[in-house]
């Protein structure tokens, strides 16, 4: 079984995340893609998420609820202390011992990858798959480093930051997030 691992703050999850996941799933021929909302991120301790961990977890669950190819893992949300990718991959490897894991990374994240906790072990546990935003979505392109796959994903100019700013300004976020996530944000009064 081929499983993709897509971690992030998801504050909130938006259509760009979902399209990137679809493009990566198709290009890598993944049987399943696991979304892993971040708990306490080591490189973002000075800029914690705006929404609570439980709200972000619920929004990701709502965003992927209608697609059987996607699941949500709450390991990082439930873990005490900082969340390290190596720990999450160990957890997922134990739960899926026969699976080949693919860790999806943004191109911007790869530059600092060697500063992560135990990058060598991460490479043992999963194949790195860097997602590049290009015009030809859903395909594998030439690797950018040895042992690193490169996946093309469609370019969608939407960000969680923009969504939070739109909410603070009283603007609509319709079309930026799935309707279920928009309703949740409204009911919970998030990002005002």
SS3 2: strand
Region 7-23 average pLDDT: 95
Interval 83-94: pLDDT, tens: 899 999 999 999
Candidates 3.40.50.970, 3.40.50.300, 3.40.50.620, 3.40.50.12160; CATH matching 2-157: 3.40.50.620
Whether pLDDT at 140 is above 90 = no
Largest CA distance in the chain: 48
Phi-psi region of 191 (alpha: psi -120 to 50; beta: other; left: phi over 0): left
Cα–Cα distance measured from residue 112 to residue 124, given in angstroms and rounded to the nearest whole number: 18
Radius of gyration of the chain (CA): 16
For residue range 43-77, what is the model confidence (pLDDT) as tens digits?
A: 665 666 799 999 999 999 999 998 999 999 999 99
CA 139 from centroid of its chain's CA atoms? 19
For residue 110, the model assigns a pLDDT of 83
Query: In this predicted model, what pLDDT tens digit does every residue of 152-171 receive, in sequence order?
Result: 888 888 999 999 999 999 99
Q: Specify the pTM.
A: 0.92
Mean pLDDT of 117-122: 96
Q: What is the pLDDT of residue 180?
A: 97
């Amino acid at each position: 079984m081929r499983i993709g691992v897509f971690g992030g703050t998801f504050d909130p999850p938006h259509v760009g995340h979902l399209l990137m996941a679809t493009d990566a799933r198709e290009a890598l021929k993944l049987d399943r893609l696991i979304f892993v909302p971040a708990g306490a991120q080591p490189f973002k301790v000075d800029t914690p998420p705006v929404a609570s961990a439980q709200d972000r977890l619920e929004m990701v669950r709502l965003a992927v609820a209608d697609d059987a190819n996607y699941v949500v893992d709450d390991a990082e949300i439930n873990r005490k202390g900082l969340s390290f990718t190596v720990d999450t991959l160990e957890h997922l490897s134990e739960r899926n011992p026969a699976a080949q894991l693919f860790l999806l990374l943004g191109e911007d994240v790869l530059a600092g990858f060697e500063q992560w906790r135990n990058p060598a072990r991460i490479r043992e546990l999963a194949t790195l798959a860097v997602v590049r935003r290009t015009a030809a979505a859903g395909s594998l392109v030439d690797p950018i480093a040895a042992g690193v796959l490169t996946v093309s994903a469609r370019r969608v100019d939407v960000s969680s930051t923009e969504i939070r700013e739109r909410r603070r300004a009283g603007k609509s976020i319709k079309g930026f997030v799935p309707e279920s996530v928009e309703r949740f944000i409204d009911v919970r009064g998030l990002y005002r």
